[in-house]
Chain A
């Protein structure tokens, strides 16, 4: 029973972090039909900035908000000065279909290199703002600490805040409209380009949160968020790539799935498990667990 509860808690905490990365990817995909592989790079930049802030001021929370701002700003810059010109330039030929994937991959590499150049390759820690000591259940200590609770609360807050933004505000309406039908949105007076950049900025903020929350239980290096990107992407696809709730469900399913396979089947199957999950979901429910209307054969 202890093993089961532990697996559940570990999977949940892991899934929460995957969800954040997944939300970030979904937001960009919804607003511009781009899977932003550079998200890991943007998140690593904002997390290194956070590392600097923690180092200089000692305040995790100040760093947390600086990271969010940095992430949003960086993402907006990427959209405005990189993706938008790209879409303008690349308009014909077979490259069109793959240009966004290729360009964001390239950007990921550049950002990683920049980070390595500025901060070096040595591993860097960020201390957690609250305790990493697990709660106790009777005589047993659980693999669930105040910090894990904090992560889950943050994910919930992000999800609720974004849902409110999208459903209840004019801005949200514009965001949805420009994503759904840019032409009609433009005709009804929405400044589609600016709104899209805003969509990217929100995504950047979510990615930055994922980066800084993932680091205290791990360490920081130019590559340290790569695996999070792969799992976050898998989670996004499992969730349908269209909905934020789907992203969170996908993240949790993947986190729990990987943890239970690791704990009950074999510790060496983590990566193949994610791959099999992805393939099976794609074959069985091509539109994801939380079904969107679009099929995946764009």
Chain B
């Protein structure tokens, strides 16, 4: 080449730039013995999709958690320490989740990660950032993937949501108890979320007549019309289960409304795609939901008779005005309330190990909006262990059938599905836990 000299110089310049970029803002090591804890503050971190396609649905979680933490902070904090939740965007992409998690534990030096969202992203974060090896508590992961409760692999990670496998098994049990021999169709996303469901139904011995798998993003109204006219109608389906996100539920229910179609027994919605507030915001005619069967571990976000719902709704309206209160928000605030109890249980001078032990020994007794019991114990990091089954009203809220909340618990393996009774602690006064 003719321009050899500038090239060399440029290479040198590039190297210097890179060196500078890497050396910039190296953080001094923190003096405190416990990262993220000072006499006035507890620093926590969360990774979730704040940008990208799913931000519309899940981006509200950090705000919801912060709303509850603000309420606690405004009332004295946790033993005098204010909770500072640092929220990082991972755009639902594993590479960014690893980066964000690394930043949280190495740069921001948070005490613990809470409410991290997304199966593939958080798996990558766990593996690459090695939360378990570093001893960083990883509380209340926001996904129904059962693998996160595997204490042997991820000893600092705690699941909170009941798993998709549990949900599928419980749906199958309910169908077996009430609609034995009916023809069932299953509409699932063609990914782990859906495949977990397929596995759960198989474990429970329920064979769907029709299984419709579709790739993420292909859940348009046109596609749903095709599923109904091409698969559900010809097979004379009795119960059609939509085990997918709210956009899918919206597409399928919208298509069904236009086709005046309804499976002979009716629709059944999984908890992820059954949030009526989100469906309503998406323009679905809610009349079509009337009588559909639904599952949830928590109360319906529009249930005005529930003390937790009313409390959370009020707090959310106060701190995040103008935003719709939906199931995602309720879950976020609920996890925040669990977090505060966990921190209190860890004592006045919390350590990371102490926090984990506190949840293992006292977590099962924490007050929360969930109707099914929390399964935390020294040998288990499973959170909620079941669902209740209800029917949607004409206004689209999920209500107990004939006034009775039918509750089931099970595990993510091959264990049986058993009926249970509600065991929910009442809301702490003013929503402020006083446990220790």
Contact = CB atoms under 8 A, between A and B. Distances in A.
Interface of A: 2-3, 6-7, 10, 13-14, 121-127, 132-134, 141-143, 145, 217-219, 221, 223, 227, 259, 262-264, 266-268, 270-271
A271 B250 contact: no
B214 A143 contact: no
A122 B223 contact: no
Interface of B: 52-53, 55-56, 59, 190, 212-215, 217-218, 220-223, 225-231, 233-234, 247, 250-251, 254-255, 257-261, 278, 281-283, 324
Given A10-B229, A123-B281, A143 B259 contact: yes
A13 B281 contact: no
A10 B226 contact: yes
Contacts of A262: 223, 226, 230
A124 B215 CA distance: 23
B53 A143 contact: no
Given A127-B283, A133-B260, A218-B220, A10 B225 contact: yes
B59 A121 contact: yes
B260 A6 contact: no
A73 B251 CA distance: 32
B250 A219 contact: yes
B281 A2 contact: no
Given A125-B283, A219-B250, A270-B215, A132 B257 contact: yes
B372 to A, nearest CB: 29
Nearest to B234: A3
Contacts of A219: 247, 250, 282-283
Contact of B56 (A7, A143, A221, A268): A221
A130 B229 CA distance: 22
A268 B260 contact: no
A136 to B, nearest CB: 9
Given A6-B225, A121-B55, A264 B230 contact: yes
A124 B261 CA distance: 25
Q: Which of A2, A13, A134 has its CB near the most chain B CB atoms (within 10 A)? A: A134
Given A6-B230, A7-B230, A227-B217, A14 B56 contact: no
A39 B344 CA distance: 53
Contacts of A121: 55-56, 59
A123 B258 contact: no
Contacts of B227: 267
Contacts of A266: 213
Contacts of A217: 220-222, 254
Given A7-B230, A10-B226, 18 more contacts: A3-B229, A3-B233, A14-B222, A121-B55, A123-B278, A124-B281, A134-B258, A134-B260, A142-B259, A143-B228, A143-B255, A143-B258, A219-B250, A223-B53, A263-B230, A266-B213, A267-B227, A268-B214
A10 B223 CA distance: 8
A6 B229 contact: yes
User: Which of B55, B56, B215, B281 has the largest count of A CB atoms less than 10 A from its CB?
Assistant: B56
B134 to A, nearest CB: 33
Nearest to B280: A125
A263 B226 contact: yes
A174 to B, nearest CB: 38
A199 to B, nearest CB: 30
Contacts of B234: 2-3
A296 to B, nearest CB: 28
B257 A133 contact: yes
A223 B55 CA distance: 11
Given A14-B222, A218-B221, A123 B282 contact: yes
A266 B231 CA distance: 11
Contact of A268 (B190, B254, B255): B190
B56 A123 contact: yes
Contacts of B223: 262, 267, 270
A10 B250 CA distance: 18
Contact of A259 (B56, B226, B255, B278): B226
A267 B229 contact: no
Contacts of A227: 217, 220
Contacts of B221: 217-218
Contacts of A143: 225-226, 228-229, 255, 258-259
The 6 closest A-B pairs by CB, nearest first: A125-B283, A6-B229, A263-B230, A143-B225, A121-B56, A217-B221
Given A121-B59, A259-B222, A134 B259 contact: yes
Contacts of B214: 267-268, 270
Contacts of B218: 267-268, 270-271
Nearest to B228: A143
Most chain B Cβ neighbours within 10 Å, of A6, A132, A267, A270 = A267
Contacts of A10: 222, 225-226, 229
Contacts of A264: 230
Nearest to A13: B222
21 contacts: A3-B233, A7-B226, A7-B229, A14-B222, A124-B281, A125-B281, A125-B282, A126-B283, A132-B254, A133-B257, A134-B258, A143-B255, A219-B247, A259-B226, A262-B226, A262-B230, A263-B229, A266-B213, A267-B212, A267-B227, A270-B223
Of A6, A143, A223, most buried by chain B (CB within 10 Å of CB) is: A143
A218 B252 CA distance: 11
Contacts of B324: 122
Interface centre among B55, B221, B222, B234 (most CB of A within 10 A): B222
Given A133-B257, A270-B214, A2 B56 contact: no
B263 to A, nearest CB: 14
Q: Which of B213, B254, B259 has the most CB of A within 10 A?
A: B259
A24 B281 CA distance: 30
A268 B258 contact: no
Contact of B260 (A123, A141, A259): A141
B306 to A, nearest CB: 24
Contacts of A127: 283
